[in-house]
Structure 1
Amino acid sequence: MYESYYGFSERPFQLSPDPRFFFATSHHQRALSYLQYGLDQGEGFIVITGPIGTGKTTIARNLLANIADEKIVAAQLVTTKLSPDELLELIAAEFKITVNGNSKADLLRSIEQFLIGLNQQGKRALLLVDEAQNLPSETIEELRMLSNFQLDNKPLIQSFLLGQEELQDIIAAPNMEQFRQRIIASAHLRPLKVEEVKDYVNHRLAQANCNKEGLFPDDGFQVIFEKTLGVPRKINIFVDRLLLFGFLEELTIIDSDVINEVASEMSVELTGSLNGSALKNSEFSQQLVINSTENVENIKNVLREVEEILEASIQQKVKMTRYIDKLLKQKSREFAKAQSANANDIKQSK
């Protein structure tokens, strides 16, 4: 796609969390430091919360990728809407524990024997639970019970919980007092500030070996911040589209006018529009009465929004068609050049 045009070694703004592209703001570095502190302590729970797209999973991946201690055996859970029994089954599966029997007692016994076996090897288990806001309170309580597995007064397993803001409310419930007392550190991530957006974008470009200086002017970063509200995942989506647009239009500089144009194209295409205007739940939760003038107007507004979405989709298809056409022409030129080179080689050999 646009990688060769801009001289990238790879796409710098992929959505999949990649530890190589980890960018540590002060908040992210603090969260990572808490995780590392928890590792050093070898006990208790660490809780990291933050809005969607602020980098919680990236932090977890970064931690796992940089664990140099061979004494730590780590596993990560990403499917967390689980009952206590399902949680135990998934833990056993992730740690590749052989379970002898079908009862919960058999499952717990097998997990404990595995943890004791690690301890005898001088190792310990680390469990990272992503999207932990989906865990029912009784399942979080099961995690606390697992932390009771000890040998020589040392816990055999640690659990780190990463989740959206709702996780804070779950933990704050009165029946979670015993769990709260096991938390040794917590951190809450926030979106990036405008100056951090510039550093974040430049960092990812550098990681992809960008050889274009001044690809985004300084005033462009302010617009990117305004359109994405500093949320890293939205920045990735937005800047990836900016680079594709720049490639299609053969731009060497992506200025604020271009950024605003692309933002306008994407305003209704993405869930939670980039301009930060959120749909009000009340607009859709109220029961419609057809003979109400107000509700008839609401229906018209919804139809207009649908029309805008369809128009945006058509515009995107047109752009993709242009991109494919351009790519085919580029490949055709490369093929013709290769054919010409082969012909010259044949003539020289004769």
Structure 2
Amino acid sequence: MYESYYGFSERPFQLSPDQRFFFATSHHQRALSYLQYGLDQGEGFIVITGPIGTGKTTIARNLLANIADEKIVAVQLVTTKLTPDELLELIAAEFKITVTGNSKADLLQSIERFLISLNKQGKRALLLVDEAQNLPAETIEELRMLSNFQLNNKPLIQSFLLGQEELKAIISAPDMEQFRQRIIASAHLKPLNSEEVKNYINHRLTQANCNIEALFTDEAFQLIFEKTLGVPRKINIFVDRLLLFGFLEELEHIDCKAINEVANEMSIELTGSLTNNSLSDDNSHQPLVVNSTENVENMKNVLREVEELLEGSIQQKVKMTRYIDKLLKQKNREYAELQSQTTNND
């Protein structure tokens, strides 16, 4: 919607991971280096962890998109809340392995035959497991068992695990010692610092062919960092909303006033919350006492919030209506000018 107004070739802050917009901070570059090192070694596990929204999936897709080695057959798993048997079934499905029989032994034998056939072709399998913090410990152990498939003392499959911080706790458990000994490298992603936030935003604007000089003021970059805490996904959500706001308000530049106004709007919405506040509290399961003064006051607060949400929604619709009206008037003028030129030519 705002792309044509600001002259973008596409939306620069989409949520879907896109390797074309990948921006490598020092931490992201280190993680990529570890992944590449793991590829070169062809064995063991590489583990990448980090908070929600710091770019783990983007790194995985960037790696897959840039694998030039035709000898590597790679698949990525994104549904990971699986039992060991379900994991094996999903691996077989992703590698398009034909399974003969219905038992787990049949499944394992089919996977092993496939891996051996790859090896005979001079190829090897690479498994990227995203959201690995959802894997039960016994399923992670199943991954370790798969790494035991070898031929001529060379592993037939290699796994990269990418997950949130909870994955570190799972792997650190006492009964995971054998798995830890198979990890050849690990990295932990961090949110961006203030300078990286500025570079990140400018990088994505450049990728979208932005030709507006200083679309954001220097103070704006610092404030965006403070509002998003440097988390890339939050930056995408927030800056996308800022550009929509700038389009509706016909702003040529985004300043701190616009940022604070949008942040206030988003603070009472469900759209990509910029805060880490939980929607529930310790009293969420207590019975409701209708005649409680506290509950009556809570109801009033809820009604006020609903009123503010409705008012904000109405304001956005009014802005949108104004813009559509403006577009229609512009199109009518262009049509009238075209008709006038046609008449003059006749």
TM-score by length of 1: 0.91
Report which stretch shifted further, 314-323 or 90-99.
Answer: 314-323
- SS in structure 1 at match of 2:127: strand
Provide the residue aligned with 1:144 in structure 2. 144
Q: Is the 8 A contact 1:269 1:312 kept in 2?
A: no
Aligned equivalents of 2:237, 2:205: Cα separation in 1: 14
| Structure 1 residue 120: Cα displacement | 0.6
Aligned equivalents of 2:271, 2:282: Cα separation in 1: 16
- SS in structure 2 at match of 1:282: coil
Aligned equivalents of 2:272, 2:250: Cα separation in 1: 29
- SS in structure 2 at match of 1:184: strand
Provide the residue aligned with 2:53 in structure 1. 53
- SS in structure 2 at match of 1:285: coil
- Count the aligned residue pairs: 345
Aligned equivalents of 2:299, 2:229: Cα separation in 1: 29
Provide the residue aligned with 2:115 in structure 1. 115
Aligned equivalents of 2:240, 2:172: Cα separation in 1: 38
Decide whether aligned partners of structure 1 residues 136 and 288 sit closer, same or farther in structure 2, where only a CA change above 3 A counts: same
Decide whether aligned partners of structure 1 residues 252 and 123 sit closer, same or farther in structure 2, where only a CA change above 3 A counts: same
Q: Compute the RMSD of aligned alpha carbons.
A: 2.2
Q: Is the 8 A contact 2:249 2:319 kept in 1?
A: no
Aligned equivalents of 1:25, 1:242: Cα separation in 2: 23
| Mapping 1:185-334, distance limit 5 Å | 185-270=185-270, 273-274=273-274, 276=275, 278-279=277-278, 281-290=280-289, 292-330=292-330, 332=332
Q: Is the 8 A contact 1:288 1:295 kept in 2?
A: no
| Structure 1 residue 218: Cα displacement | 0.3
Decide whether aligned partners of structure 1 residues 183 and 285 sit closer, same or farther in structure 2, where only a CA change above 3 A counts: farther
Aligned equivalents of 1:114, 1:339: Cα separation in 2: 68
Report the residue type matching 2:224 in the other structure.
I
Decide whether aligned partners of structure 1 residues 146 and 217 sit closer, same or farther in structure 2, where only a CA change above 3 A counts: same
Deviations 1:181-234 (A, max 9, x none): 111111111111111110000000011111001100100001111111111111
Q: Identity of paired residues, percent?
A: 83
Q: Is the 8 A contact 1:268 1:312 kept in 2?
A: no
Gaps in structure 2 of 5+ consecutive residues: none
Aligned equivalents of 1:60, 1:183: Cα separation in 2: 17
| Structure 1 residue 315: Cα displacement | 3.4
Decide whether aligned partners of structure 1 residues 141 and 32 sit closer, same or farther in structure 2, where only a CA change above 3 A counts: same
Report which stretch shifted further, 44-53 or 321-330.
Answer: 321-330
TM-score by length of 2: 0.92
- SS in structure 2 at match of 1:24: coil
Decide whether aligned partners of structure 1 residues 172 and 314 sit closer, same or farther in structure 2, where only a CA change above 3 A counts: farther
Gaps in structure 1 of 5+ consecutive residues: none
Q: Is the 8 A contact 1:48 1:163 kept in 2?
A: yes
